[in-house]
Amino acid sequence: MKNIGLKSVAIATTALATTLFTASAQAEDTGTAETWLEEGARVVAEKAAEPVNTKRAKNVILFVGDGMGISTLTAGRILEGQMQGKSGEENYLSFERFPYTALVKTYNVDAQVPDSAGTASALNTGSKTRIGVINTAPTQPNGQCAGAMETALTPLAHYAEKIGMATGIVSTARLTHATPAAVYAHSPSRGWENDGELPEEAVANGCRDIAQQILNPIGGNGLEVALGGGRRNFQPLGTGEGRRKDGRDLTQEWMASDSSAAYVENEQSLAQVDIANTSRLLGLFDNSHMQFEAQRGDEQPDLAEMTEVAIKMLQKNDGGYYLMVEAGRIDHGHHGGSAKAALYDTVALSKAVRKAMEMVDLDETMILVTADHSHVFTMAGYPKRGNPIFGLVTGPGETEPTLAKDGKPYTTLAYQNGPGAVQGERKHLTEEDIAAPDFRPQALVPTRSETHGGEDVGLFAIGPRAHIVRGTIEQNVIFHIMDYALDLRKRASE
Ligand SMILES: [Zn+2]
């Protein structure tokens, strides 16, 4: 029964592409009643026959699309399909074919609409906590160091390391940013990314900045691989754009931590890493966040390349591994009101998950894909099938854009708030306007940065014990799903 999940996913994609596209190429992508009926029955037969794998998982990979709400998934899958010359709606992102899904409630204990720090803490520790904190207890005030370490939450990587599993992080954001930080650090404030950010109270009470904690042993020998952005928080003032005031160069300390540890700074040197003979690998590809996929040059690897190297590093360990991969900039695209930046990064996540599925045995590796929270991003109007996802709404059977009550066209994608808000009269948008790389779809409420959305996000699961992923769950339950799949804390307490 090796790779049963992967095989059925691959077959499903091919079958769908063939049925829908050959049937619809001539006739406006409608398919026929027969092709829809056949395809629907085939999906049900496949689901009815799906075997349940109750074995213990050896490895777990948790993918987090930061800010990847449901509307981002839908628009992202249409973009991915349209990039392949298809009409788009029939496409599935790589993980949308996983056999098990659930809806996830994302609020923080003190916030109806959450941030990435509180949510990443829930994913990694099994307990919800406050907005803006990394792995501190829900009772601990945000930004207060006194008492924080005594009540700190224990992250999954601690238990994993304790039983000899390998651990790793990949992110297109700074490795000190909220989501990756929750894998390896504790901090009463997500803002304490380097020592220069710590207030006096924090220093006096012994709190440490997030970057230096990447060298922590966590529970065993520490992270085996860490790839992403944020170099400035690891290097001292005076070295490049280094911001550390304590004079420490954490990249050097990483190298010194083991005789076969390695540190890389660009795509070329990442490709040349001698994986078999490297015990610990740190890659910092940007001073701050890595580039958006839509603007990525040839100096920086994409999310799939980093994921591939990380899995190769971790697969060397016979005792299994825990890897968290974050598509960190979907969130930043949305915050800037740029649907293009957000959606191309969503497609990059789909590619990274596909790469992981090719590399692992899904009979022994659980893969989870989720988001930490949503955004106020919508897909609206009645655009016709295959209408360009970044385009103006043009209705079925129409050739000219649909006009709003003010006599002006509008885009399918829009935001409830953000920097794309139009104060006063709306502009009469042209095809040229919307084609510009920096075009922002219209927002309603003018805010400096577009905000997170508070509705549920999806969780997609495949692999051993993934069948427990169902229903509507609190976000901290995702930790417990991974714990259950690995028998992790049980093994760690033996
Ligand atoms: Zn955000």
pLDDT higher than threshold 90 for residue 20: no
- Report the chain's C-alpha Rg in angstroms: 23
CB 81 within 8 A of CB 386: no
CB 185 within 8 A of CB 338: no
Instruction: Reply yes or no on whether 116 is catalytic.
Output: yes
Q: How far is the CA of 34 from the centre of ligand 1 (A)?
A: 44
Structural domains in the chain plus CATH codes = 59-376+451-493 (3.40.720.10), 377-449 (no CATH)
pLDDT higher than threshold 90 for residue 11: no
* Mean local confidence (pLDDT), 350-367: 98
- Label residue 7 by pLDDT band (50, 70, 90): very low
* Nearest-angstrom CA–CA distance, 92 and 437: 25
Nearest to 396 by CA among 378, 408, 382, 410: 382
What is the residue-averaged pLDDT of the chain? 94
How confident is the model at residue 4, as a pLDDT? 36
* Nearest-angstrom CA–CA distance, 100 and 105: 17
- pLDDT more than 90, % of the chain: 92
* Mean local confidence (pLDDT), 460-471: 98
* Mean local confidence (pLDDT), 357-364: 98
* Selected catalytic residue, list 8, 24, 116, 350: 116
pLDDT higher than threshold 70 for residue 463: yes
Place of tokens 């915050």: 335
CA distances from 17 to 59, 88, 100, 157, 353 (A): 31, 11, 22, 39, 20
Q: What tokens were used for 84?
A: 């392949």
* Nearest-angstrom CA–CA distance, 292 and 303: 10
Place of tokens 């026959």: 49
Helix, strand, coil % in the chain, rounded to nearest 5? 35, 20, 45
Q: How far is the CA of 259 from the centre of ligand 1 (A)?
A: 38
* Mean local confidence (pLDDT), 408-427: 96
* Mean local confidence (pLDDT), 246-259: 97
Nearest to 171 by CA among 325, 66, 323, 307: 325
Q: How many other C-beta atoms lie within 10 A of the C-beta of residue 272?
A: 9
Q: How far is the CA of 449 from the centre of ligand 1 (A)?
A: 9
Q: What tokens were used for 146?
A: 């006194």
Residues lying with their CB under 5 A of ligand 1, a single-atom ion: 331
Q: How far is the CA of 452 from the centre of ligand 1 (A)?
A: 6
How confident is the model at residue 188, as a pLDDT? 98
- pLDDT more than 70, % of the chain: 94
* Mean local confidence (pLDDT), 329-358: 98
* Nearest-angstrom CA–CA distance, 329 and 341: 8
In tens, the pLDDT along 291-313 reads 999 999 999 999 999 999 999 99
How confident is the model at residue 28, as a pLDDT? 61
How confident is the model at residue 432, as a pLDDT? 94
pLDDT higher than threshold 60 for residue 450: yes
How confident is the model at residue 24, as a pLDDT? 36
Q: How far is the CA of 118 from the centre of ligand 1 (A)?
A: 12
* Mean local confidence (pLDDT), 359-386: 98
Q: What is the DSSP string of 214-283?
A: GGS-TTTT--SEEEEE-GGGTSBTTSTT--BSS---HHHHHHHTSTTEEEE-SHHHHHT--GGG-SEEEE
Please write down the HEC assignment for all residues of 456-491: CEEEEEECCCHHHCCCEEECCHHHHHHHHHHCHHHH
Q: How far is the CA of 441 from the centre of ligand 1 (A)?
A: 18
Place of tokens 């980093």: 306
pLDDT higher than threshold 50 for residue 23: no
In tens, the pLDDT along 117-176 reads 999 999 999 999 999 999 999 999 999 999 999 999 999 999 999 999 999 999 999 999
How confident is the model at residue 217, as a pLDDT? 78
Q: How far is the CA of 470 from the centre of ligand 1 (A)?
A: 26
In tens, the pLDDT along 183-219 reads 999 999 999 999 999 999 999 999 999 999 999 878 8
